[in-house]
A and B are shown apart, each in its own frame.
Chain A
Amino acid sequence: MALLELRDIWKRFGVTQALSGAAFDLRAGEIHALVGANGAGKSTLSRIISGHIRPDSGEILLNGTRLRHTGARDAIRAGITMVTQETSLAPDLSVLENIMLPRIAMPGRLDWRALRRQAQALIGEIGQSEVLRPDMPVSELSIGQRQLVEILKALALDSRIIIFDEPTAALSPHEAEQLFGLMRSLATRGHGLIFVSHRLEEIFAVTDRVTVLREGRIVASGLATETLQQGELVRLMVGRELQDIYDRGGRSRWRTDGAVILRVSHLSCPPMVRDVSFEVRAGEVLGLAGLVGAGRSETIETIFGLRQPVSGTIELDGKPFRARSPRDAVRAGIGLIPEDRRGQAIVPDFSVRENLLLAHLGARSAVTLGYGMRGAAVRALLERLELPERRLLDANMLNFSGGMQQKVILARGLVLAPRLLLLDEPTRGVDIGTRSSIYAMLRRIADEGVACVVVSSDFEEVIGVSDRIAVLSDGASVAELPAELIDIEKLGMFAAPRSSAEKTHTVLGELVARYGGTAYWMAAEGGRLFCFDRVGDDPSADPGFVTGGFPEIAATAIAHAVGAPAGALHRAADGARPTLLVPISGKRGHSLGIVGLTFGQAPADFDAAAVTQHILAALGERRDAPNETRIEA
């Protein structure tokens, strides 16, 4: 029998039909993925299960009996908990108090010693005794650790059903692996887990069954994950091939002909932005990629004058530029589409027309409104964005879907005909149809000579939509390279937080300290080499690339070692640059890149096999016999 069953769920928000007859079932001991594109209704459905939203109609059965919860508290009492990305923890309370918060809220005396014992036991159960101490204040924990606390909170309540809503959005690959391990062990112990995500690789990595939503309808229910192909799942989610929505109509991607509109050098605005440099040309879409917390939003907010830089320079059209307020930026021809639409963009008490003209008002110096002078521009924009003018302008913004609102905010940025457009997560909470029209719009804007900077957490989107990509990690730009040269995996390695790449960095440092020469962490693919990190500056041992570089392999000084068997020193034809390359693999056999060592003159006591074993022991999670591996380009 199903642990949880939902039948014929309908839900409507204003004019948006969020769910139309959705059904879902969850068995004990399984991880069930709830997938769909942005705006498909997966969050609505999971929030109905967790009691945060009440459906307009439909039935929820828990262990076969009808559940009538009227709020999240009832759901929690029934054993259903949601672990969200925006955590519901009280940051000023300790880990212990947070885990036991529902208990603390109950009447009666508290036995703190018993509570502490229980909390310790729970932390031990999920194998975190070394990292999580009950007395740590939650405000000092990383996002990953906070999620663990939320899971512990669910366990303390004895929840049978735990919903994970996009849990990995802010996690490093390592933390995500850890979370998946924990999810598996919870499932083994008989919990039913619902996993909401739009990241395909995660769905295949961790779930047992998949239910797919599209535009509020269930298009596939409870399919066994192992019988599915990626392409099939994508088709189910979007109703067509994914490439189509990023279609660029034959537009060449890598342009160097436009004038440089924006040049950012060593920009610093602590704590989030430490050392960011990149440039954008007219007619170009630059993607700012990175994990949540890498400082991408903060970087463009600094350019736009919402934050004040501490050091570094910003040049606009070759002239130094510093916005003391957004007003300066707007007047200098910069448009910003902010990340938080509800918080930073929409003025809820204004009509669509006034919302659309808000930036015009900001740029205007006269006393009067001057809305009339923008009439033609507004009409043209609405037409381009496929927004019907007649009904729209007097209506209230909040009555529209996320996609529609985003189009209006995009139009607001375009009314002033900016030269530089900064877009922060432009498709968050936007349905797939609107997404593709936003992408098309973006390309058209760029073709008209506007320089565009797009921030996105979605690696697939940022690669699909950009011409070039600048990768940020922990507040510093680590690479700037053409989008067509990079894939999601390599982007992930560039973007890995320095904290998790630190282990690699330390190993590289040790190698250089012990043997001299240069050590580096890289990947090789499609005839190019991507350098994620490099230590050592001995010019005689220069491998021919630096951190963030992506040269053609033939143009580097270690071309002779690539393609040769790994785990041994290889010299170039003239005997120079002896080089050792060691490929590193993760648990599931996926590549974690290559660690390399290059010398001007190899030390006499250098034992390639022993060094290879040392590197694998320090960094690899799977120890293949390296001699059988060849470094393929």
Chain B
Amino acid sequence: MTPMNGPATSLTGQTGAAPRRTLLTLLATQIELRMSLVVVAVMAVLSLISPYFLTLNNMLNLLSQSVVVGLLALGQTLVILIGGIDLSVGSLVGVTGIVLGLSLHHVPMPAAFLFCLAAGAAAGLVNGLIITYGRVAAFVVTLGMMSVGRSLAYVLSGANSISGLPAGLGALSADSLFDIPVDFLVLIACYALCWWFLNHTKGGRTLYALGSNAEAARVAGLRIGTWSVLAYVISGLMSGVAAIFMASRILSIDPIGGQGLELDAIAAVVIGGASLFGGRGSIIGTLFGVFVMLFIRNGLNLLNVSPYWQGTAIGSVIIVAVLAERLLSGARRRG
């Protein structure tokens, strides 16, 4: 064969090898498939251990619990996809919650929602601008914003929790449609929208390209600066959304609200198969990640495991998940 046909030959080699697609390579390439198997496995194990786990009550309870962390994990997914991280989301839930509570005492509910969301988005904008154009590490900037957010929550609220919220607010999490809680339906709607955004819009693909190889994305003419900032804006905005649903559930707003949730959100994203180096991950995977975490925590509660031990369990799951991800992506690279 002449050298001219060299590349074609190597491609034929690829063609011949392709039909022997093993389960491993399929699992390695499809995050969603992998995650759904994990979720099913966790559910199966937990329902065998505890008869209460698979009851309607427990399930509805879990759906409601997934909303706040699910919303934060959605924003976090976008940020992690571009190779960043947002540590401020938990404290932004605190400060946007306070903004919501204070506004509710003065303006009608929709306007209060708007203020709350605007506060979250503005904080995200500050994060995004400094990280993108100031070229400061995302870890540092959002760590600073985490501190600022929590502090502002105390300052604005005078370190008091806000109660006496309008009854209408509670309807957001109390109502249900076809027996499914409305807040969970909102969460699913957000994830569906995000899925469409990530897979079928230019902005979504830009986020992936940006995380995978920012320089290549720039050379190809994509607006990487704009989209990098927007990822953080969306993450901040989702903190505001989460604050609204959190307030509607407990009908009281505390400046300490949302503390530690950033770690839950990051954990859900990572368990969901996203790479902290960016470029790889899926929003469906994140949703599964949220549930794996909730299920395990719920299962441990049902089994009466001491809350002191639960951190060890969740932490181990995170580490094992990332380790598995590394091994599998190694298998894919070699494949």
Contact = CB atoms under 8 A, between A and B. Distances in A.
B215 A407 contact: no
Nearest to B205: A361
Contacts of B211: 349
A329 interface: yes
Contact of B223 (A327, A350, A367, A396): A327
A434 interface: yes
Contacts of A387: 11
Interface string A362-399: 11101111000000000000000011101110011011
A329 B221 contact: yes
B193 interface: no
B205 to A, nearest CB: 6
Contacts of B14: 15, 391, 395, 399-400
A606 B3 CA distance: 62
Contact of A401 (B3, B7, B15): B7
B219 to A, nearest CB: 5
B202 A325 contact: no
Nearest to A336: B219
Nearest to A398: B333
A14 B330 CA distance: 12
Chain B interface, >50% SS class: helix
B279 interface: yes
Nearest to A214: B3
Contacts of A354: 205
A98 B315 CA distance: 43
Given A431-B6, A434-B6, A436-B4, A348 B202 contact: no
A238 interface: yes
A379 B217 CA distance: 23
Given A431-B6, A432-B3, A347 B221 contact: no
Q: Which of A16, A350, A359 has the most CB of B within 10 A?
A: A350
Interface string B1-27: 011111110110111011000000000
A392 B11 contact: yes
A511 interface: no
Contacts of A238: 3
Contacts of B215: 343-344
Q: Which of B13, B17, B203, B220 has the most CB of A within 10 A?
A: B220
A332 B87 CA distance: 40
A347 B219 CA distance: 11
B249 interface: no
Contact of A326 (B13, B18, B218, B333): B218
B135 interface: no
Interface residues on A, range: 35 or more
A358 interface: yes
Interface string A391-423: 110011011110110010000100000000000
A437 B4 contact: yes
B219 A306 contact: yes
B221 A362 contact: yes
Contacts of B333: 398
Contact of B206 (A338, A361, A399, A400): A361
B301 interface: no
A343 B216 CA distance: 7
Contacts of A292: none
A127 interface: no
A403 B6 contact: yes
Contacts of A403: 6-7
Nearest to A345: B216
Contact of B222 (A362, A390, A404): A362
A364 to B, nearest CB: 6
B222 A407 contact: no
A530 to B, nearest CB: 35
Interface in B186-233: 200-203, 205-206, 208-209, 211-213, 215-223
A358 B222 contact: yes
Interface of B: 2-8, 10-11, 13-15, 17-18, 200-203, 205-206, 208-209, 211-213, 215-223, 279-280, 332-335
16 contacts: A304-B219, A326-B218, A331-B221, A349-B208, A349-B280, A358-B216, A358-B220, A361-B209, A368-B201, A388-B11, A390-B15, A399-B335, A400-B11, A431-B7, A433-B3, A434-B6
